[in-house]
Amino acid sequence: MKLVIVESPAKARTIERYLGEDFSVAATLGHVMDLPKSKLGVDLEKNFEPQYEVMPDKGKTLRDLKKKLPKSEKNVFLALDPDREGEAIAAHVAEALKLKKPNRVVFHEVTKQAIQDAIDNPRQISEDMVDAQKARRVLDRLVGYKLSGLLWKKIWYGLSAGRVQSV
């Protein structure tokens, strides 16, 4: 049995129909790891390294994925979205499931041919894309975490600001 991991349950059902009985398809429902809610979560002393943790509501999702893992890692395909967010989610899923070299597959349309071509031509997770998402997330946190506190004190509790709203 082979396992394909996607973000959306609707996409999972469609892909499972296209791939047939040798494949199981499961969804993450988006990100599985993020920076902690209650603290900065970025190590300013260690090159701004983010301190990701499993999101509280994703424990069951990850346990379910672990149960579905095939014996061989080469039969795991991370088919998350083809952008930097999808690449980061793929990296976080791999980390949470302790996968050393998972197959990363990318398709730009949900058709039988596109999905089969992606499965036939897997690649590794792009560290450059993961780093791009990590930089964006760290910047959001550094600007937003500090600025939101200031807004709470000066304007209104509960307002939030990030790198985009800060201007």
Reported as a single tens digit per residue, the pLDDT across 14-57 is 999 999 899 999 999 999 999 998 889 999 999 999 999 999 99
CA distance 73 to 2: 9
End-to-end CA distance of the chain: 51
Token pair, residue 150, equals 């200031």
CA distance 98 to 72: 13
Reported as a single tens digit per residue, the pLDDT across 81-104 is 999 999 999 999 999 999 998 999
